[in-house]
């Protein structure tokens, strides 16, 4: 059963907000759109795997979807971690369409899609490295686990996995499977590992530690794409045609371009501010971003949003 669910990737929301708030012909948009497509496909692939693992309802399984923890100063991210008292397995999910050609002898992976062919990082080496980091993390917290299983799941059922040479029986490359075979793989692990490697009490401690140390990656997308704040279109935006800044007419934000009216369009604008500009707002930054002249109107709006706050007076900060 799932101990931790997968968060919806904030980068998807950030890239969507960015596309909406840059002028239409901005040169960075194709890159933002292409990244958005990749991240969305990756998330979709991970959800396919989550769905399969959802059938493991037995309490003996502790499943973590997407954890990000650190050893020393180095963060590492695990797509899925499954633990029982008898074994642990780290699952790496790959969403790749077309043909995935793998040469297990020289650890080389190529993806062939139509006419194009491109190399990609060997997922087996990648997940082997994750097991080392996770073992190190466990040992730092006083738990020594000698063996961690690996699994690479190709989430797209239409993808062909093509080995240039058949991997030998004990080769880690036999651990590359399609998502529909996950449950079968777990059954084989249940047969292979019959002895406890960790007590139920320690497993519980590890679960709590992971939840405590997990931290969501927050990225500054303006930095990633080399965009300066001035390039971001400010103001409440029309939900129908994206025009901005919308004026408030009576109690409605009213579009000068398409006449669309909305009472709550400012909520999305504030979300966009948090996604793109900063993790906190003040009364004055809100007024600047939404083009509202009245300090009182801004205070009223901030109160209605039930945001977390710190400080008082003009320096009062609001957090999502
Ligand atoms: Zn409009």
Q: How far is the CA of 226 from the centre of ligand 1 (A)?
A: 29
Q: Ligand 1 centre from 13 Cα, in Å?
A: 21
Span from the CA of 268 to the centroid of ligand 1 (angstroms): 14
Helices (H) and strands (E) in the chain, counts: 9, 16
Question: What φ, ψ does residue 317 adopt, rounded to 5°?
Answer: -110, 145
Q: Quote the percentage of the chain above a pLDDT of 70.
A: 100
Distance CA 164, CA 99 (A): 12
Ligand 1 centroid to residue 259 C-alpha, Å: 6
What is residue 14's predicted lDDT score, i.e. its pLDDT? 98
- The mean pLDDT value for 194-213 works out to 96
- For residue 277, report the distance from its CA to the centre of ligand 1, in Å: 23
* pLDDT at 315 (0 to 100): 84
Give yes or no for a cis peptide into 245 (omega within 30° of 0).
Answer: yes
Could you tell me where the beta strands, DSSP code E, fall in 16-87?
A: 62-71, 74-83
Q: What six digits make up the tokens of 18?
A: 């960015």
Strand ranges, E, within the chain: 2-4, 62-71, 74-83, 88-94, 99-103, 108-113, 116-120, 149-154, 160-163, 176-178, 248-249, 252-254, 261-262, 280-281, 308-310, 317-319
State the architecture of 233-319 in CATH terms: Orthogonal Bundle (1.10)
Higher pLDDT: 315 or 26? It is 26
The encoded tokens of residue 27 equal 């040169």
d(CA 14, CA 26) in angstroms, rounded, equals: 16
Domain boundaries, the chain: 2-213, 233-319
- 130-148 pLDDT tens trace: 999 999 999 999 999 988 9
pLDDT value of position 1: 87
CA of 257 from ligand 1 middle (Å) equals 5
pLDDT of 196 reads 95
């Amino acid at each position: 059963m799932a101990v931790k669910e997968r968060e919806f990737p904030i980068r998807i929301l950030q890239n969507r907000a960015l596309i909406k708030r840059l002028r239409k012909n901005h040169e960075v948009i194709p890159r933002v759109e292409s990244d958005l497509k990749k991240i969305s496909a990756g998330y979709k692939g991970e959800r396919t795997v989550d769905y399969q693992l959802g059938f493991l309802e037995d309490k003996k399984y502790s499943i973590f979807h997407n954890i990000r923890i650190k050893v020393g100063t180095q963060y590492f991210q695990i797509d899925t971690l499954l633990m029982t008292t008898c074994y642990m397995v780290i699952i790496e999910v790959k969403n790749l369409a077309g043909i995935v050609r793998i040469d297990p002898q020289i650890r080389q992976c190529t993806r062939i899609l139509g006419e194009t062919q491109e190399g990609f990082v060997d997922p087996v080496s990648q997940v082997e490295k994750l097991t080392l980091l996770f073992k190190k993390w466990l040992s730092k917290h006083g738990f020594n686990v000698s063996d961690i299983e690996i699994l690479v799941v190709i989430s797209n059922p239409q993808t062909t996995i093509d080995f240039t040479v058949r991997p030998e029986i004990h080769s880690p490359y036999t651990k590359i499977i399609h998502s529909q075979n996950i449950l079968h793989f777990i059954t084989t692990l249940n047969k292979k590992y019959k002895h406890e490697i960790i007590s139920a009490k320690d497993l519980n401690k590890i679960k709590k530690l992971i939840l405590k140390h997990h931290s969501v990656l927050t990225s500054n997308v303006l930095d990633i794409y080399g965009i300066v704040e001035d390039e971001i279109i400010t103001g409440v935006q029309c939900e129908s045609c994206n025009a901005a800044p919308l004026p408030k007419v009576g109690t409605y934000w009213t579009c000068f371009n398409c006449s669309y009216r909305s009472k709550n369009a400012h909520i999305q604008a504030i979300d966009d501010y948090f996604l793109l500009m900063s993790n906190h707002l003040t009364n004055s930054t809100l007024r600047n971003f939404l083009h509202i002249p009245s300090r009182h109107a801004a205070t009223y709006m901030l109160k209605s949003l039930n945001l977390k706050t710190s400080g008082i007076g003009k320096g009062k900060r609001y957090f999502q």
